[in-house]
Amino acid sequence: MDSSAASPSVAFIGLGTMGRPMATSLCRSGFAVQVVDVRREATEPLREVGARVASTPADAAQSASVVVTMLPEAHHVREVLFGPDGVASGART
């Protein structure tokens, strides 16, 4: 990655089997990453590699240029995006 270019800030929501290694890779590649998962213990390994643990999807989205969801089903995605404290309520325009 070109260190002279600013990396986008990434909100990463869903740290399961696929999400955790993907978010870890982003952290190790120099991206500013905010993570959220329904299982609070899933966020700790990401904190250890430099991620900021956000309290809600809205909190994670506030400072993010990009939002990534790695969730198991469509209804989880809808809830994370449009539910209470969802991405839509915190995302920048």
Domains observed in the chain: 10-87 (3.40.50.720)
pTM value surpassing 0.95: no
> pLDDT truncated to tens, each residue of the chain (93 aa)?
444 457 789 999 999 999 999 999 999 999 999 999 999 999 999 999 999 999 999 999 999 999 999 999 999 999 999 999 999 999 987
- For residues 12 and 16, give the distance between their C-alpha atoms in angstroms, rounded to a whole number: 11
State the amino acid at position 76 in one-letter form: H
CA dist 32 → 23, 45, 46, 76, 77 (Å): 10, 15, 12, 24, 22
